[in-house]
């Protein structure tokens, strides 16, 4: 009796195995529904090779074996299947990639500076893989000095060849990369030309930050050094007229968001009235804002004098409750982020140098020049 029961149990088990054989999801499979590249887009340095794996899945997300193919390979790149990825034996001793598989791997080589792409296709489905080529940092070309005068208030124009361009917040420094930063006063609409005022006495090659590829405007390139031909700038600065009075203060045109402007002036600082700082040497400049605006400001001068930027409401002479004056003597530049509401303003460049005692290293005379950079955020 026991033997019959055992045999019956074995028969039942075999029946279960037969009923469960095969793929239980087989009736749900519907062929290739989607191609999945990893990564979905590529960033490659020029001259380098990277890989992308493309898989195929059905409507349930199951991988599907298929024959992948390439088409529409864009300019500036080379794409080929990687023969070392998941090879199989085609005879007793030779390995080769299979004609069909659940995934293929492709080798992509960046030949030129381009924003390109290629397409992988299988069973009537396509997927496009974008390829963005970045330059070798060692091969970024020098910016040409296309216009330059001998004086610091003469606009210097720097030009890059396509596809390179300057960011709106680009900076240029001669010598000391902090205290030697030039005043950027604009750039061309295509970004290929940057206009600046080199600080008085600037010499030697320049260092540029904020270069990018025009088809990747949000991807800054690595800091580049000695990318600007050597320059020699005199120390002669001419006074900007009208800075001694609110009524005659020279106007500063505030640029569009993401752009910069600024000026270099003598350190005459002869205004009689500068709001809360009246009595300290100061100079006045005016500007207007149509909307609430965030500004990035930078102030530096020719000597160790403690400088500050203060702002006044032009309508009534009251203080605008905005200032950039966190540092002390011989500690430059002053650099701040400030936010203003719409309105008309006076900007006061103030020196506290005369108030420093000999024990503090002062008093300091007015600097031979001052420089102000204004960026719109």
Residue 296 to residue 131: CA distance in whole angstroms: 35
Per the prediction, the chain carries an average pLDDT of: 89
CATH topology of domain 260-376: Jelly Rolls (2.60.120)
**What are the residue ranges spanned by the domains of the chain?**
32-134, 137-232, 260-376
DSSP-assigned letters across all residues of 81-106: E-TTSS-EESSSS-EE--SSBSEEEE
For residue 165, how many other CB atoms are within 10 A of its CB? 23
Structure tokens at 315: 């309508």
pLDDT at residue 219, rounded to an integer: 84
Look at residue 29 in the predicted model and tell me its pLDDT: 56
Average pLDDT in the 283-290 region?
A: 98
Q: What is the pLDDT of residue 232?
A: 86
CATH superfamily of 32-134: ntegrin, alpha v. Chain A, domain 3 (2.60.40.1510)
Asked if residue 190 lies in contact with residue 265, where contact means CB atoms within 8 angstroms, the answer is no
Query: Residues 31-73: pLDDT tens digits?
Result: 899 999 999 999 999 999 999 999 999 999 999 999 999 999 9
Q: Using CA atoms, how far apart are residues 256 and 293, in angstroms rounded to an integer?
A: 10
Closest listed residue to residue 196, CA positions, set 152, 138, 230? 152
Question: What is the reported pLDDT for 224?
Answer: 58
**Is the pLDDT score of 322 beyond 90?**
yes
Structure-token pair, residue 270: 């002869």
| Structure confidence by residue, pLDDT tens digits, 229-249 | 678 899 999 999 999 999 999
Mean pLDDT value of segment 174-188 = 86
Note the pLDDT of residue 177: 64
Q: What is the dihedral of CA 62, 64, 70, 72, to 10 degrees?
A: -40
Residue 104, CA distances (Å) to 10, 37, 209, 353 in order? 44, 10, 40, 70
CATH class name, domain 137-232:
mainly beta
Name 8's Cβ contacts closer than 8 Å, sequence gap at least 6.
none
Do residues 39 and 52 touch, judged by C-beta distance below 8 A? yes
| pLDDT on residue 341 | 97
The whole-number average pLDDT for the span 7-17 is 41
- Which whole number is the average pLDDT over 148-167? 90
Residue 312 has pLDDT above 60, yes or no: yes
CB 187 within 8 A of CB 193: yes
Q: Comparing 32-134 with 260-376, is the CATH topology the same? A: no
**Which pLDDT band, with edges at 50, 70 and 90, does 2 fall under?**
very low
């Amino acid at each position: 009796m026991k033997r019959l029961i055992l045999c019956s149990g074995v028969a039942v088990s075999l029946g279960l195995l037969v009923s469960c054989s095969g793929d239980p999801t087989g009736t749900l499979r519907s062929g290739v529904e989607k191609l999945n590249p990893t990564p979905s887009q590529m960033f490659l340095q020029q001259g380098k090779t990277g890989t992308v794996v493309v898989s195929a899945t059905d409507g349930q997300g199951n991988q599907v074996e298929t024959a992948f193919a390439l088409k529409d390979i864009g300019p500036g790149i080379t794409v080929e299947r990687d023969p070392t990825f998941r090879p199989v034996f085609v005879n007793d001793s030779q390995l080769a990639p299979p004609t069909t598989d659940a995934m293929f791997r492709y080798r992509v080589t960046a030949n030129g500076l381009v924003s390109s792409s290629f397409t992988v296709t299988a069973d009537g489905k396509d997927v496009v893989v974008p390829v963005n080529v970045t330059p070798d940092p060692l091969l970024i070309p020098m910016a040409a000095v296309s216009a330059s005068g001998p004086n610091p208030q003469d606009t210097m124009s720097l030009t890059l060849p396509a596809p390179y361009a300057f960011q709106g917040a680009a900076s240029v420094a001669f010598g000391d990369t902090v205290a030697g930063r030039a005043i950027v006063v604009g750039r061309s609409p295509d970004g290929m030309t940057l206009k600046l005022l080199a600080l008085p006495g600037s010499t030697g090659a320049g260092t540029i930050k904020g270069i990018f590829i025009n088809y990747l405007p949000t991807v800054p390139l690595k800091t580049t050094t000695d990318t600007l031909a050597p320059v020699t700038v005199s120390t002669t600065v001419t006074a900007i007229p009208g800075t001694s009075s609110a009524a005659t203060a020279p106007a500063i045109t505030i640029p569009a968001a993401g752009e910069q402007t600024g000026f270099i002036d003598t350190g005459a600082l002869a205004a009689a009235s500068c709001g809360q700082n009246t009595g300290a040497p100061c100079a006045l400049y005016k500007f207007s804002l149509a909307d609430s605006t965030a500004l990035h400001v930078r102030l530096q001068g020719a000597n160790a004098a403690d400088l500050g930027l203060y702002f006044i409401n032009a309508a009534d002479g009251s203080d605008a409750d905005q200032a950039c004056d966190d540092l002390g003597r011989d500690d430059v530049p002053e650099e701040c982020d400030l936010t203003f509401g719409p309105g008309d303003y006076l900007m006061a460049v103030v020196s506290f140098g005369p108030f420093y005692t000999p024990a503090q290293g002062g008093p300091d005379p007015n600097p031979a020049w001052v420089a102000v950079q204004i960026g719109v955020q």
